[in-house]
Amino acid sequence: MNFERKQFPLLYVNQHSRGIVGWGASKVAGQECQRYGIRHALLVTTGLKGTGIIDEVEGVLKCAGIAVTVFAGVTSNPKCEEVAAGTRLYLEAGCDGVVSVGGGSSHDAGKAIRIMLTNQGAKTVLRDFMAVLEPHFTTRIPTYKAVQIPHVAINTTTGTGADCTSFAIINDEELKYKLILIVPGVDPSVGINDPAFMRCQPAHLLAWTGIDALCHAMEPFIGRLNLPVSHATSLRAIKLLSENLRQGYANPRNDAAIENLLWAQFLASMSYNMGGGMGMVHGLAHMVSVLKDLHHGYANALMLLPVERFNAIACPERFKEIGEAMGLDVRYLTPVQATDKTLDEIARLLRDVGIPPVSLQDFEFSEADIDHTARWASNDISLEANPRDMSLEQIKTIMRSCL
């Protein structure tokens, strides 16, 4: 019998990376490399073809006397073999630090390369560092070598927040699972957010990353870890997203909307990174993404409403506050009534930014995929902070409702 009065008696408020935000912030990337002792950078990226961003960053770094080796072998869902290839190139070129340019894929790959370099180089098995509930990841973290390789992360999307966070998410193609890597020191040395780069996002990518940021804000806010620090940053992020995501989608060169979305994703990343945790929108979306190679933000958008409709009974008062942050007049509604209105507004937002409801059957999601999802998601660390308990069979029911 447990007589403790609180499910999580101790809450941990974690450090967010140092950040630089503003128009032209990318121009100090060379100066930041110098600050952290980087003389030869491995520039990690998906390529960002057609934007000119990589050429711009290379020029800034070389102007500061920083040698650059470009590794553009990262895909939208970075994979273990891609990270190994980047690690080999780092060693062959004699690099002494990482500069990642892009969204979460580039930053996470850069973090994972640093984990590999800290251990057995390209031979490192990343699944040895994956964070799960059983055995609980916190018991393993003290056994890891701390990452000390400097990392300057330059963001180009308005969704990830990975430029300042302590997690790396990498696809293990053999396990068909997204590894959540939590290793001391893996957070970048500094994150740089320049809205000039974010104006280059195509509309659909801005929508997907924006909904990713919405999930980053909502899940810690409703989550059972109940961290007051996250509540503050989450509500502001939700307000900024609801007020600016449509405008940014309709016109990605809308400077005011882009800047507000930048701050929204930054605040949302603080919400989960500082200790608020994530929920099972992410837990199930990770599986959809790895099984069908869907963009992380798009997978979150597909799972957002099915999971939150399941969760709503556990925290209707929090959904009422979310509705208020989204500008809804829910003053005279009960929390349950307000929850219905809030979920309807989220559905409207998804439609407005080009993400209508889609059946997972369109991606040939099978019963075997559902079984695989339930088995792995039930040990995902996202389950710990989810506001409602979720059994193996309930996960399957939610997934079948998406077919």
At 181-218, the pLDDT tens digits run 999 999 999 999 999 999 999 999 999 999 999 999 99
Average pLDDT over residues 238-255: 96
Sign of the CA dihedral 394, 399, 402, 403?
Answer: negative
3-state secondary structure of 7: coil
Question: What pLDDT, in 10s, does the model give residues 258-268?
Answer: 999 999 999 99
- Residue for token digits 């580039």? 106
Question: What pLDDT, in 10s, does the model give residues 59-88?
Answer: 999 999 999 999 999 999 999 999 999 999
Asked if 68 contacts 50 with a C-beta cutoff of 8 angstroms, the reply is no
Here the tokens at position 254 are 């809308």
Taking all residues of the chain, what is their mean pLDDT, rounded to a whole number?
A: 96
Here the tokens at position 282 are 């992410």
CA–CA–CA angle 134, 139, 144 (5° rounding): 115
Secondary structure element (H or E) that encloses residue 286, with its range:
helix 280-292
Where is average pLDDT lowest: 50-54, 125-129, 147-151, 366-370? Answer: 50-54
Asked if 234 contacts 220 with a C-beta cutoff of 8 angstroms, the reply is yes
Q: What is the pLDDT of residue 6?
A: 81
Of 322, 344, 295, 98, the closest CA to residue 178 belongs to 295
Residue 96's CB is within 10 A of a number of other CB atoms, namely: 17
177 residue type, one letter = Y
Q: What is the pLDDT of residue 274?
A: 96
3-state secondary structure of 155: strand
Tell me how far apart the alpha carbons of residues 156 and 154 are, in angstroms, rounded to a whole number: 7
In CATH, the number for domain 18-198 is 3.40.50.1970
Q: What is the pLDDT of residue 1?
A: 74
Long-range contacts of 298-301 (CB under 8 A, 24+ apart): 298/208, 298/211, 298/355, 300/211, 300/212, 300/215, 301/207, 301/208, 301/211, 301/212, 301/350, 301/355
- Residue for token digits 């308990």? 389
Here the tokens at position 355 are 């993400």
Q: What is the pLDDT of residue 191?
A: 98
Enumerate the CATH 3.40.50.1970 domain ranges in the chain, comma separated: 18-198
Q: Is the pLDDT of residue 2 over 80?
A: no
Q: What is the pLDDT of residue 136?
A: 94
How many helices and strands (H and E) does the chain possess? 15, 8
Average pLDDT over residues 177-183: 98
Q: What is the pLDDT of residue 3?
A: 76
Q: What is the pLDDT of residue 71?
A: 98
Q: Is the pLDDT of residue 4 over 80?
A: no
Question: What pLDDT, in 10s, does the model give residues 18-31?
Answer: 999 999 999 999 99
Enumerate the CATH 1.20.1090.10 domain ranges in the chain, comma separated: 203-401
Asked if 168 contacts 75 with a C-beta cutoff of 8 angstroms, the reply is no
Q: What is the pLDDT of residue 146?
A: 98
Here the tokens at position 213 are 């940021």
Which residues on adjacent β-strands are paired with residue 306? Answer: none
Q: What is the pLDDT of residue 50?
A: 86
Tell me how far apart the alpha carbons of residues 82 and 18 are, in angstroms, rounded to a whole number: 27
Tell me how far apart the alpha carbons of residues 223 and 227 are, in angstroms, rounded to a whole number: 8
Q: What is the pLDDT of residue 7?
A: 86
Average pLDDT over residues 335-354: 98
Q: Is the pLDDT of residue 270 over 80?
A: yes
Residue 293's CB is within 10 A of a number of other CB atoms, namely: 15
Quickly name the fold that domain 203-401 has: Dehydroquinate synthase-like, alpha domain (1.20.1090)
Q: Is the pLDDT of residue 34 over 80?
A: yes
Q: What is the pLDDT of residue 16?
A: 94
